[in-house]
Amino acid sequence: MSAARAPVNVVGGGLAGALLAIVLARRGFRVEVFERRADPRLRAGERGRSINLALAARGLRGLAVAGVAARIAPLLVPMRGRHVHEHDGSGALLAYGQDDSEVIYSVSREALGRTLIEAAAAEPAVTLHFGADCVGVDLARDALLFGEGGKVRRRVPLAPTIATDGAGSAVRAALAAAGALTVREEVLAHDYLELTIPRDRAAGLDPHALHIWPRGGFMLIALPNTDGSFTATLFLAREGSPSFAELVDAPAIVAFFRREFPAAVSRLPQLVAEFAEHPRGRIGTVYCDPWTLDGKVLLLGDAAHAIVPFHGQGMNCAFEDVAVLDSLLATHGDTAALFAEFARVRRPDTDAIAQMAIENYLEMRDTVRDPVFQRRKALGAALERAFPDRFIPRYSMVMFHPEISYAEALRRGAVQQEILAALDAADPGQQPRGGGTDTIPPGARALIEARLAPIGVRA
């Protein structure tokens, strides 16, 4: 992609689009960002749509590549682990990592998006167009179409365009309709709805944890906000029992929460009103192939590979996309080669995180309460302390080790599961103690050295 040529169009000025615009500008490109919504610097935040997000190492690396990590730092609330709340009110914190350096961060989507737009606006080479709704692509005339109510009001030369217009991408839909790519969307049978735990009802909730009320088949989670409140999200089936279809009126909603989340219900004073007011979101995985149209269009972020939110990685993955594209820009002058290389190197990783995100859904909903899961989790953490260059739990590889690709985390994670199962089967009573006094099961060293090459060394 040559900096001297036409400006790069970025369709969608959300999380990935704003970060991408900054990176492109710093590489010497002129950038035109087209965002459907109003300027976030002028409007109030949108309610009821994933109000806060978990940001981890891959996302932080993308922010650092764009030089905006310091701007984002004041927005972050560290979370050390998952606090699991049982039905009887008991609970425990399961640490995410080995120590307080291995934490993830809760961040407001709205504040993050606004801050990234502010940073993009500060780049002289970036022009931001708000209220610019992309309604299609005219492939015959190589044009991006913008308009409203189905009417085209503006045409913009297509090449080169990077589409970051999210899971419901209009650019992707237009290319699919023209037969330029194929799309498969696997929608989960569960929807989500967001609820508020105000600060004055948050007493006793650890402000540095992600809270989960897993109930087998459905769950409530809550992430902390900088003002001491929490945003809770209910994930529940659309149909069947229990399901959103049953929660049709105030008595049904209150009875369901009293029955399933008795300790949480008093923390949700606006429960019934928010049920009525907040939109219910669909979640799913988008599989799309190819992501590119010659050197003209590239899909990136959720537009290319939206995933279910249960690993807290969609935004992190989108920011990693931006970092990968940035590194390829250093060596690829030709747009067609750049876009093709991005798709080639990135697809194995986005396929891997799509799979791990679905697996994490089952873990958060069900397995996290299973004693075998908890025992193996503790054993995995002990093995990491003993063999840190070879054995890192999969969750940690994904969340804290951006130097290990998603595809490699999936591959090593499968081998590690087999090792844990073998060690656990040999001695199910084994309980690592931690604190430098771990007892490592006999045979662990031999198994690990035989099956896991040191990190960074090809097996």
Beta-carbon contacts of residue 180 (< 8 Å; ≥ 6 apart): 139, 293
Determine which residue in the list 81, 309, 402, 432 makes contact with ligand FAD, applying CB under 6 A. Answer: 309
List the one residue from 1, 8, 10, 13 that touches ligand FAD (CB under 6 A).
Answer: 13
> Is residue 37 at the binding interface for ligand FAD, with CB under 6 A as the rule?
yes
Stretch that binds ligand FAD, among 158-166, 257-265, 290-298, 341-349 (CB under 6 A): 158-166
Which range touches ligand FAD (CB under 6 A), out of 84-92, 212-220, 268-276, 312-320? Answer: 312-320
DSSP-based helix, strand, coil % in the chain, nearest 5: 40, 25, 35
φ and ψ at 254, to 5 degrees? -65, -40
Min. distance of Cβ 335 from ligand FAD in angstroms? Answer: 20
Written as six digits, the tokens of 417 are 């599961």
CB of 168 or CB of 251, closer to ligand FAD: 168
How far the first Cα of the chain sits from its last, in Å, is: 35
* Cα(107)–Cα(226) distance, integer angstroms: 8
Q: Which of 81, 97, 160, 166 binds ligand FAD (CB under 6 A)?
A: 166
Which of residues 1, 10, 22, 35 is near ligand FAD by CB under 6 A? Answer: 35
Q: Is 181 in the site for ligand FAD (CB under 6 A)?
A: no
**Segment near ligand FAD (CB under 6 A); pick from 92-100, 257-265, 311-319, 349-357:** 311-319
Q: Does 112 bind ligand FAD (CB under 6 A)?
A: no
Q: Which stretch binds ligand FAD (CB under 6 A): 80-88, 308-316, 322-330, 413-421?
A: 308-316
Subset of 273-292 contacting ligand FAD (CB under 6 A): 281, 283
Q: For residue 251, count other CB atoms closer than 10 A to its CB.
A: 10
Are 340 and 203 in contact by the 8 Å Cβ rule? The answer is no
CA of residue 404 relative to chain centroid, distance: 17
Please say whether the beta carbons of 9 and 21 come within 8 A.
Answer: no
Among 8, 9, 17, 343, binds ligand FAD (CB under 6 A): 17
What HEC string does 133-187 produce? Answer: CEEEEECCCCEEEEEECCEEEEEEECCCEEECCCCCCHHHHHHHHCCCCEEEEEE
The answer to whether the CB of 296 falls within 8 A of the CB of 161 is yes
Q: Of 12-20, 80-88, 324-332, 428-436, which part binds ligand FAD (CB under 6 A)?
A: 12-20
| Binding region for ligand FAD (CB under 6 A) | 11-17, 34-37, 50, 53-54, 132-134, 164-166, 170, 192, 233, 281, 283, 301-303, 309, 312-316, 318
